[in-house]
Structure 1
Amino acid sequence: MTRTISSYISLLPLLSSIFATVGTPTPIARRAEPAAKPGFNRVWYEDWGHINGITHNWAFDLGTSYPGQVAQWGTGEIQTYTNKTENIKILNKVLYITPKKVKDAKGQITWTSGRIESRRGSQWACADGKKMLVEASIKLGSAAEAQQKGIWPAFWMLGDVFRSRGYTGWPEVGELDIMESVNGIRQTWGLVHCGVYDGQIPIRGPCNEPDGKGGYVRGIGRGLWHTYGIEIDRTTKDWETEKITWIINGVRHHSITGSQINNATAWDFLAHKKMFILLNVAVGGGFPDGVEPGSALTPFSTTIDGDSVGMQVDWVGVWQQA
């Protein structure tokens, strides 16, 4: 999610670097605690029940960029992130991230939304010879596709070195997109970004930037709870055969190995180094535009705001193999 404005112009549903998992993942009919994970210890968990609310475990990202860094969060997004309850709040132990239309002083329509990242001190790495799981229970907005053009919810991770460097160095720092969805499509993406990218097309580097490497899953029911997760598996103790796997509702969908990245340094950032978690709903930008015919600029006049185009999160957790 931290890229140049043109990053997603070629990110159409079929790419040589991306493969699909076709099917309809069985949704979770109601909110539920995470499934038991034998052999794993839960090392961090958020269920939105703390007296301090969101700030107990999270920091708000505000405005249109990290301080002094690339405008529009590097992706061409048009929203401004706030910490106002109209954009981000806890209701009945569920986090709501809600994009909103607002009028500026000139009467022009602008957008606001919410974005948070796990606080400094809350970042995790998979230990050598072990596995690590990161999961969240998420419900995506159920409004019609025509009403969600340009809406871009995401559950993802960035290398913690990104923060220590002053939020510079993408994509070298590594990015794991656990769940991204755009434009109300019944489809979610799970990708990695790594290596180097000079802002130019065509794709290049170990992660085929700016597109990234990974896959997508079709048939995702919207307005229903799904558990999205990622597993980092270092049990082979050989970086080329280590694996990152995307999981929805307990079902494994696609994986990527160190040998597919074919770059030890890039894989080290993706699978070995500490990462922090982000949750947000963006509006507009290269990814939503890129999947529209002719790369049409989103949002459209038909795009609505409110909870029916937002994202709800029941819980988020990190588990390490014992």
Structure 2
Amino acid sequence: MTGTIFSYTSLLPLLALSSVFATLGNSTPIMKRANVPTSKAGYNRVWYENWGHKDGITHNWVFNLGTSYPGQVAQWGTGEIQTYTNKAENIKIVNKILWITPKKKTDSKGKVTWTSGRLEGTRANKWACADGKKMVVEASIKLGSAGEAQQKGIWPAFWMLGDDFRTRGYKGWPEIGEIDIMESVNGKRQTWGLIHCGMYDGQIPIRGPCNEPDGKGGYVKGIGRGLWHTYGIEIDRTSKNWKNETITWIINGVRHHSITGSQINNASAWNYLAHQKMFILLDVAVGGGFPNGVEGGLTPYSTTIDGDSVGMQVDWVAVWQST
């Protein structure tokens, strides 16, 4: 979700995926929202968000506002067209559920503009997997149920960035590491789980340990929309050799694709991805390189709608460390 505006453009046609491998799965959705789990065998829950704090969103999160980090790459680095706000029409809590809703407005001259919402964890909320341990980061999420034709260009995501990104003044992508736990574009019944790392100089074709700008990872088909799913990643550092450490994507308890240190084959890049502290982000973008690359054209379209049926709901977020 971050980087330069060239990111993801070489994903066209994405489904060929020369740098990303596919996983077909029938992950069972959660038909009703469930309480944030209080236990997980072999783990301690070290942090969770259930949106029940008296100070609301700002208890654990800060709003990303506008069209970029202060003084940094425009359009959030990916060519997105929305402006992020903290208005209730874009981001709010209802019955202990976070709603992020893209909104479209047309002025008297016919110009269309979009707004939406984006959060990142506060400076205190950042985590790393300890040496010899495992860490799981997961969230219960419902994606908008509108048809694909109405969601072209809509891009919800649950992801993480290396905390060094903030200490450097929001600079250093992709070296600081990015783990996309769940991304979905254009209303597809499909989600992506990717990593970004190493260096990227804005050139095509893909290059570096994480094949930038595409990243490395995979996707899962058959993900029902308008239903609750639990999306997560597990970082496993129980091996004594970093090349055997893994990052695995999990949906509703089903393990899908994994990336190993040996596949990255770059100790510095893997260190940022699997060893260093990261913070969590939640957002719904509009337009940009990823939905454009998947669609094979510039999104959103005139037929793309706004509102809750193309937004994202988040029931809870949790971080677990193995005992």
> Normalization by structure 2: what TM-score?
0.97
Q: C-alpha displacement at 1:6, in angstroms?
A: 2.1
For 1:75 and 1:13, the matched residues in 2 are separated by 20
Does the alignment pair 1:306 with 2:294? Answer: no
Does the alignment pair 1:136 with 2:136? Answer: no
The percentage of aligned residue pairs carrying the same residue is 80
Corresponding residue of 1:124: 127
Aligned partner of 1:297: which letter? L
For 1:318 and 1:72, the matched residues in 2 are separated by 29
Aligned partner of 2:115: which letter? T
Q: C-alpha displacement at 1:4, in angstroms?
A: 1.8
Q: C-alpha displacement at 1:106, in angstroms?
A: 4.8
The secondary structure found in structure 2 opposite 1:69 is coil
Match of 2:274 among 243, 252, 271: 271
For 1:126 and 1:182, the matched residues in 2 are separated by 29
What's the CA shift string for 1:44-95, capped at 9, x where partnerless? 1000000000000000000000000000000000000000000000000000
Does the alignment pair 1:32 with 2:14? Answer: no
For 2:172 and 2:6, the matched residues in 1 are separated by 17
For 1:155 and 1:128, the matched residues in 2 are separated by 25
For 2:121 and 2:294, the matched residues in 1 are separated by 29
Aligned partner of 2:310: which letter? V
Aligned partner of 1:91: which letter? V
The secondary structure found in structure 1 opposite 2:201 is coil
* Structure 2 unaligned spans of 5+: none
For 2:141 and 2:21, the matched residues in 1 are separated by 23
For 1:95 and 1:237, the matched residues in 2 are separated by 39
Corresponding residue of 1:8: 8
What's the CA shift string for 1:96-128, capped at 9, x where partnerless? 000000235754110000000000011000000
Corresponding residue of 1:22: 24
Aligned partner of 1:30: which letter? K
Corresponding residue of 1:320: 321
Q: Kindly report which structure 2 residues correspond to 1:191-206, keeping only aligned pairs within 5 A, or say none.
A: 191-206=194-209
Misfit runs of 4+, over 4 Å: 104-107
Could you tell which deviates more after superposition, 131-140 or 106-115?
A: 106-115
* Structure 1 unaligned spans of 5+: none
For 1:16 and 1:184, the matched residues in 2 are separated by 23
Q: C-alpha displacement at 1:234, in angstroms?
A: 0.1
For 1:52 and 1:136, the matched residues in 2 are separated by 21
Corresponding residue of 2:45: 42
For 1:113 and 1:44, the matched residues in 2 are separated by 26
Corresponding residue of 1:257: 260
For 1:197 and 1:220, the matched residues in 2 are separated by 31
The secondary structure found in structure 2 opposite 1:127 is coil
Number of equivalences: 320
Could you tell which deviates more after superposition, 134-143 or 8-17?
A: 8-17
> Normalization by structure 1: what TM-score?
0.98
Q: C-alpha displacement at 1:237, in angstroms?
A: 2.2
RMSD: 1.0
Q: Kindly report which structure 2 residues correspond to 1:1-322, keeping only aligned pairs within 5 A, or say none.
A: 1-11=1-11, 12-35=14-37, 36-104=39-107, 106-292=109-295, 295-322=296-323
Distance 1:105 1:84, change over 3 A: farther
Contact 2:156 2:284 in 1 (8 A): yes
